[in-house]
Chain A
């Protein structure tokens, strides 16, 4: 049979596999992916990398991806190594094969650790500015990872219809229900992978706890709407105004200002279209938050305080910023602010939006971190 016939057969099986997956039949999908992979591997054998380099590269990536999706990691790995050894493998194919190898190694590491992860890992990549291939400023990555963790926990809390948490960490039942882990991503820009661990102790998990895979997909849906359509789109899936504001502020914290990095992509495994966060995303969310904010009272003057966030006392309802000239400025009525929005900003430069009353006292409205 020719490459064309074999590739066509592989395509049809892969299509059937994706449709089975969409219908929720994972076993059937995996079996179909394996059959598709076998046909694609045979198609690859009909080609020579020197004669048809693009077709060879595309087919090789496809064969490895199909074996990976079919769950035969050993076969996927073997083909990837064999093809990467070719002298004239196209650059795009080499990069995609290395991405697949990293994904395979992550799955192997998880299996060896004996930890069970929900299907549907989330891959995060940052690029631009100070980011280099495989490296990024540590404080930036720590802050973004913490914000993603906050988003996951808040998604789970919202799905469980819990009232919006203003103080303290997520309840233990939420943390045990969907614990995010960090894995190595492929060195292209800077990437890391977040996987949700399934609950180890079933007695922590109540019957109404959402499935961790559903938490991951809902998290992405919330993030996508917060970025693409913060005003109307997010309101449709998060009608609760307080939760909507919380998600918007966390999504804004994730978005770049353009100084240290200028793009973040968040995607689920198997998802061709990532959620892309750029500096414009931050501005758009800021406009939505401003529009949704309650109106300022009479005689209140909007003002901005810029400096380093030095102290926070959310129970006593204030925060303190040290301005460039060394002056400490206290802002009151921080009660509405969330711990996980403000917490990562301590000891970092911030912009605080406040209202000054006729006695000169500053009342908190909003806070953003400056990179």
Chain B
């Protein structure tokens, strides 16, 4: 398995769908989540079928003030997972976050080719992300199955990539959800 680098910082430089503030926010959340279980650097296992690989994640550890600011565990895990998942798909598929659109329950990110001007979202892939703080592989697999089901329900004509990030297990599981 080839080892690569999971680049958590500066996402906005490579992903036009992220503003600098959002990218910084996601990266900070990821650092808080990683600090709960690990010391930098660590290998992340990315399960992506034929493109599966190990990627090293390195980060600056967070201070107490930052940890307190991210005390809401649920939001932190979600935002940290977005950071890791977007960086992971960039490594395995070469795709970047090209846009975002609001929904009733939040917002969805869309993936596309880097350096292409976004004319529409007809060929973009929707990204469905979930984060698990503690949890063994079985938990992550169960969550991935749920995300795949969720990606299909109510969005049956939109192809998507579902990704589950396990922080304690330093694993990213992915699955493709194809349009019907």
Contact residues in A for B146 (Cβ distance below 8 Å): 263, 276, 278
Q: Are B134 and A14 in contact (CB under 8 A)?
A: no
A228 interfacial by beta-carbon distance below 8 Å: yes
| Complex contact A11–B99 (CB within 8 A) | yes
Indicate if the CB atoms of B107 and A14 lie closer than 8 Å.
yes
Residues of A134-166 at the interface with B, using a CB-CB cut-off of 8 Å, are none
Closest to B138 in A: A280
Residues in A96-124 with C-beta less than 8 Å from chain B: 96, 99-100, 103
B101's nearest neighbour on chain A, judged by CB, is A62
Chain A-chain B contacts (Cβ-Cβ < 8 Å), number: 123
A228 with B104: in contact, given A55-B120, A92-B157, A221-B73 (CB under 8 Å)? no
A3 within 8 Å of B (CB atoms): yes
Cβ distance A129 to chain B, nearest Cβ, rounded Å: 15
How many whole Å from A363's CB to the nearest CB in chain B? 33
Question: How many residues on B have C-beta within 8 angstroms of the other chain's C-beta atoms?
Answer: 44
8 Å CB interface, B75-121 against A: 75, 78, 99-108, 110, 117-121
Is A287 at the interface (CB under 8 A from chain B)? no
Q: Which of A239-247, A264-272, A294-302, A307-315 contacts B (4 or more CB under 8 A)?
A: A264-272
Interface centre among B102, B106, B122, B133 (most CB of A within 10 A): B102
A349 to B24, CA, bound (A): 53
Q: Tell me if B25 counts as interface (CB < 8 A to partner A).
A: yes
CB distance from A243 to the nearest CB of B (A): 18
* B residues less than 8 Å from A272 (CB atoms): 78, 103, 105-108
B residues less than 8 Å from A228 (CB atoms):
132-135, 139
Q: Which residue of A8, A103, A233, A263 is within 8 Å of B133 (Cβ)? A: A233
Interface residues of A (CB under 8 A from B): 2-4, 7-8, 11-12, 14-16, 18-19, 22, 36, 40, 47, 52-55, 58-59, 61-62, 65-66, 68-69, 90-92, 95-96, 99-100, 103, 188, 217, 220-221, 224-225, 228-229, 232-233, 237, 263, 267, 269-274, 276, 278, 280
**10 residue pairs A–B, Cβ–Cβ below 8 Å:** A11-B99, A15-B100, A19-B21, A58-B110, A228-B134, A229-B134, A270-B105, A271-B105, A273-B78, A278-B146
B residues neighboring A (CB under 8 Å): 17, 19, 21-22, 25, 72-75, 78, 99-108, 110, 117-122, 130-135, 139, 142-143, 146, 150, 153-158
